[in-house]
């Protein structure tokens, strides 16, 4: 995927923008310090990265409970930056040092950070009234696939579509580069929207729980919104399952008046009705797709992809009245989502599945599609993320696999073997003892050697899970080039295998 940065926003006449001083005066802050002599109207830009600031910048810095102290944050981010104004969500111990440097400081009220930043962005990256129609998708799994299907459907309808999500930015399906986030920080989002406003009218975006809780989508009203499913994830950040669910329910606050939340999960719909009884919920119950459709688009044979398609189609119908008669023809397989390569009786699947629920779903789909095959799963768990899901992921693999190979994923700042040990702790129910091979490329080579050594008439399916579209391994602060897809291609070539079917 291209790493090209999106274009810069066009220059807007200064008289078309509200001056910063006016906006600061309209916002009710919990605490503020404005040094004498600093003219707010002289500010030149708004940033979310401290290292991108100039002496005329507003720096929007959101403080999280991530184990780092104020002193570390000050020394690493704030002290070296030349910004003029700090806007933050809570008091910090370094305020005296910042005041001594002549910095202005504004602390937002509780739960007001996102809305405050959205208002300040109006001075630099305004949202033209009525320009953007917005569709947002939340859920534990399936957000990326649903957004890419929705993007394709709307582009086929002749809409000018900008999509934002895990796979990066795309304009009418054409790659525009990556952001590094499922949902980019609000200042970055507003910069992107300003940059593309002359080329797109519809925004389709993933709405992660982090983004909803942190206000990264603040200021946007959703003309269509959907919720794919829900299972336990991100407890390292949210703390409890209830808090995680509550974060996702924030999508309801941004629905345009009269717009229902489209929900693929009966369990989610029932829970929302209990906890949010005044909310408009529209559950979806997709009808099975006919055999000719599945023959032309085999990836839609998967039950969860049919659900993703049904949600995308329902969202598209709320955004556009120009959808083609056979909308499914606009779809293609999504990067790193159930990508398959086949040689004889050997089928290799690459999938982004990196939660217990996602592994259950993809392995269940494999068992249904290949009932006579031996299934081998190669997977790992990411470091510096929810540790409680590691044994659950291992247990899910055991339930549906004949053999498992546990390897590294993105260890980040954790020791890979320690992550693997926590994963294997949940794999006592495996029919065969799982193999441990730390280096991922080595593990995939070993997997292919096992496939090659198996009897030729024995159907074999290998799932390589966890990284999907990712083109790197993140370890000790360094991202090293790496791709499961490239490793699969290399091993097909190494063994002289012909690929009978790809991206099924």
Look up the CATH number of domain 18-121: 3.40.1390.10
Residue 292 contacts residue 254 (beta carbons within 8 Å): no
* DSSP structural state of residue 227: E
Report the distance separating Cα 354 and Cα 140, nearest Å: 11
Residue 411 contacts residue 377 (beta carbons within 8 Å): no
Report the distance separating Cα 203 and Cα 150, nearest Å: 10
The whole-number pLDDT of residue 231 equals 86
The domain defined by 133-330 folds into 3.40.1190
Report the distance separating Cα 420 and Cα 398, nearest Å: 15
Residue 159 contacts residue 134 (beta carbons within 8 Å): no
Bridge partners of 462, per DSSP, are 348, 376
The whole-number pLDDT of residue 179 equals 85
Q: Kind and range of the H or E element at 311?
A: helix 303-319
CATH architecture observed for domain 339-495 = Alpha-Beta Complex (3.90)
Angle between helices 440-453 and 484-495 (to 10 degrees): 40
How many C-beta atoms lie closer than 10 Å to residue 325's C-beta? 5
Report the distance separating Cα 103 and Cα 85, nearest Å: 6
Its sign, for the CA torsion 235, 163, 285, 292, is negative
DSSP string, 124-158: TS---TTT-EEEEEE-SSSHHHHHHHHHHHHHHTT
Using alpha carbons only, give the angle 306, 311, 314 rounded to the nearest 5 degrees.
125
DSSP string, 20-32: HHHHHHHS--SEE
Report the distance separating Cα 338 and Cα 422, nearest Å: 26
Question: Do 18-121 and 339-495 show the same overall fold?
Answer: no
Divide the 504 residues of the chain into consecutive groups of 10 and give the mean pLDDT of each group: 44 62 96 95 97 98 90 96 98 97 95 96 94 97 95 98 96 90 94 96 96 96 97 78 95 96 96 92 92 89 93 98 96 91 94 92 91 97 93 97 97 97 97 97 98 96 95 94 97 93 47
Domains of the chain: which residue ranges?
18-121, 133-330, 339-495
- For residue 376, the SS3 value is strand
Residue 335 contacts residue 167 (beta carbons within 8 Å): yes
The alpha-helical segments, DSSP class H, found in 401-483 are 416-424, 440-453
């Amino acid at each position: 995927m291209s790493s090209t940065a999106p274009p810069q926003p066009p220059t807007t006449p200064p008289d078309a923008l509200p001056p910063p001083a006016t906006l600061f005066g309209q916002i009710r802050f919990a605490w503020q310090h404005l040094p004498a002599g600093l003219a707010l109207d002289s500010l030149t830009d708004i940033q979310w990265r401290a290292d991108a600031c100039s002496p005329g910048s507003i720096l929007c810095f959101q403080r999280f409970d991530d184990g780092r102290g104020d002193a570390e944050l000050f020394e690493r981010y704030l002290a070296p930056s030349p910004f003029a104004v700090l806007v933050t969500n809570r008091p910090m111990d370094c305020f005296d040092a910042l005041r001594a440097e002549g910095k202005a400081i504004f602390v937002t009220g509780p739960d007001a950070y996102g809305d405050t930043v959205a208002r300040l962005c109006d001075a630099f990256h305004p949202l033209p009234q009525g320009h953007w129609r917005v569709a947002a998708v939340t859920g534990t799994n399936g957000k990326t696939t649903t957004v890419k299907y929705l993007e394709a459907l709307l582009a086929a309808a002749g809409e000018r579509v900008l999509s934002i999500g895990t796979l990066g930015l795309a304009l009418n399906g054409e790659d525009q580069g990556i952001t590094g986030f499922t949902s980019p920080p609000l200042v970055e989002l507003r910069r992107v929207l300003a940059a593309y406003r002359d080329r797109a009218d519809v925004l389709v975006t993933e709405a992660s729980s982090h983004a909803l809780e942190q206000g990264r989508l603040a200021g946007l009203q959703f003309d269509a919104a959907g919720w794919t499913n829900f299972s336990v994830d991100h407890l390292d950040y949210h703390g409890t399952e209830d808090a995680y669910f509550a974060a996702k329910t924030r999508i309801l606050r941004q629905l345009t008046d009269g717009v229902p939340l489209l929900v693929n999960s009966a369990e989610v719909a029932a829970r929302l009705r209990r906890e949010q009884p005044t909310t408009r919920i529209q559950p979806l119950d997709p009808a099975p797709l006919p055999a000719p459709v599945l023959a032309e688009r085999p990836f839609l044979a998967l039950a969860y992809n049919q659900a993703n398609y049904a949600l995308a189609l329902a969202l598209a119908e709320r955004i556009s009245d120009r959808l083609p008669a056979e909308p499914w023809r606009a779809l293609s397989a999504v990067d790193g989502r159930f990508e398959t390569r086949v040689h004889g009786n050997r089928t290799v699947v690459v999938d982004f599945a990196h939660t217990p629920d996602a592994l259950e779903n993809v392995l269940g789909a494999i068992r249904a599609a290949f009932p006579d095959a031996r299934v081998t799963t190669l997977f790992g768990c990411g470091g510096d993320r929810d540790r409680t899901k590691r044994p659950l992921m291992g247990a899910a693999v055991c339930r549906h696999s004949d053999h498992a190979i546990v390897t590294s994923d993105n260890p980040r700042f954790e020791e890979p073997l320690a992550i693997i040990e926590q994963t294997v702790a949940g794999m006592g129910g495996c029919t065969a003892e799982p193999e441990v091979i730390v280096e991922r490329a080595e593990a995939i080579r070993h997997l292919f050697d096992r496939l090659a050594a198996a009897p030729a008439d024995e159907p074999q399916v290998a799932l390589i899970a966890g990284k999907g579209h990712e083109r790197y391994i993140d370890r000790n602060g360094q991202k090293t080039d790496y791709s499961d897809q490239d490793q699969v291609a290399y091993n097909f070539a190494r063994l002289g295998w012909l690929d009978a079917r790809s991206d099924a």
